[in-house]
Amino acid sequence: MFSALARPAGAVLRRSFSTSAQNNAKVAVLGASGGIGQPLALLLKNSPLVSRLTLYDIAHTPGVAADLSHIETRATVKGYLGPEQLPDCLKGCDVVVIPAGVPRKPGMTRDDLFNTNASIVATLSAACAQHCPEAMICVISNPVNSTIPIATEVFKKHGVYNPNKIFGVTTLDIVRANTFIAELKGLDPARVNVPVIGGHAGKTIIPLISQCTPKVDLPQDQLTAITGRIQEAGTEVVKAKAGAGAATLSMAYAGARFVFSLVDAMNGKEGVVECSFVKSQEAECAYFSTPLMLGKKGIEKNLGIGKISSFEEKMIAEAIPELKASIKKGEEFVKNMK
């Protein structure tokens, strides 16, 4: 029922915006000097939805901010360097996007990033809980299946947890599914919408091709192949970059798409739907990605899994144990933090 709605943001980076009094989002990017952070900050600076852009990292942010500040759009840009400047970066923010951390190298799984990225996300989440507890928190840092439970537990520790405001950004899975299906069927990718549910790693990535709009019919062999390609698309980029990083440009696009949808919804736009990895009662694990109706206060309504095929049902069943383990790993990390 939701799939017809599910892509109002599909061409979000390509449309012309009307500016209104509400287009005053104050957005922070934490990890703004990195491979995702820089192109993401560029896309945010380019949007009339954003009035203030604050950039944080442990290196290079003054330079990135100076560079972006010359662009002829109205968002003011300021760079903040190192932990002592982080509170000022966060004060008054409406949305915080977190792409900070280390990327994958060939042969690594997203889970191999856990030790480094878990403590980065925990530290940054704690700062958000203290300095902008009301902000929407959008986590890009992998492994998302564990970093969202980490952010949640940190917010709980600080007594400011709101399940409607913490999002694991899985949008790149949707963007990839839309692109690959469009290529396969000769469609315009901006008109294709494939909900992708579950998590954000390997077999936990579950494209609901049966719910694709427009409807597409694929024989089982093609369905299996394209599902596998969507699930391993990140690894495809890691291999192609041959040690020089992971998906950064497409991830920046996807992160911006999600932020613009969120800000549109916060501004009162109706019918804004995006998939995201969030606290959920929709499956047999505590967090699960499904299409969400976004609103002024974050998640307005979880639209759930909907009607699915037996092939998709089987994928969900196979994903649950891995999801549960990744979630537990994140929760345990915060429990054992000093």
Q: How far apart are CA 263 and CA 259, in angstroms?
A: 6
CATH of domain 25-169: 3.40.50.720
* Cross-strand bridge partners of residue 110: none
Q: Which residues contact 107 (CB under 8 A, 6 or more apart)?
A: none
pTM of the model: 0.93
CB atoms within 10 A of CB 198: 31
Q: Are 308 and 211 in contact (CB under 8 A)?
A: yes
pLDDT for 14: 37
What fold characterizes domain 171-327? L-2-Hydroxyisocaproate Dehydrogenase; Chain A, domain 2 (3.90.110)
Q: What is the pLDDT of residue 264?
A: 98
So what's the pLDDT on residue 111?
Answer: 87
CB 262, CB 95: distance < 8 Å: yes
Instruction: Find the farthest-apart pair of alpha carbons in the chain and give their distance in angstroms, rounded.
Output: 56
Same fold, 25-169 and 171-327: no
Question: pLDDT tens digits, residue range 28-67?
Answer: 999 999 999 999 999 999 999 999 999 999 999 999 999 9
Which pLDDT value is given to residue 3? 37
Could you give the residue numbers annotated as active site? Answer: 200
Helix (H, G, I), strand (E, B) or coil at 247: coil
3-state SS record for 143-212:
CHHHHHHHHHHHHHHCCCCCHHHEEECCHHHHHHHHHHHHHHHCCCHHHCECCEEECCCHHHEEECHHHC
Binding residues for NAD(+): 31-37, 57, 117, 140-142, 251
Q: 227-260 as b/e, with b when 16 or more CB fall inside 10 Å?
A: beebbebbbebbeebeeebbbbebbbbbbbbbbb
Of 197, 149, 194, 177, nearest in space to 304 by CA: 197
Domain ranges in the chain?
25-169, 171-327
Distance CA 39, CA 48 (A): 16
User: From the annotation, which residues make up the binding site?
Assistant: 31-37, 57, 104, 110, 117, 140-142, 176, 251
Q: Which pLDDT score is estimated for 161? A: 98
Which string of b and e fits 297-322 if b means at least 16 CB within 10 Å? ebbbebbbbbebeeebeebbeebbeb
Q: Which two tokens stand for residue 184?
A: 């396969």
273-315 confidence digits (pLDDT tens):
999 999 999 999 999 999 999 999 999 999 999 999 999 999 9
Q: Which residues of the chain carry a pLDDT beneath 70?
A: 1-22
Are 137 and 70 within 8 A, CB to CB? no
Ramachandran angles phi, psi of 290, nearest 5°: -145, 170
The per-residue pLDDT of the chain, averaged, comes to 93
Binding residues for substrate: 104, 110, 142, 176
pLDDT value at residue 22: 64
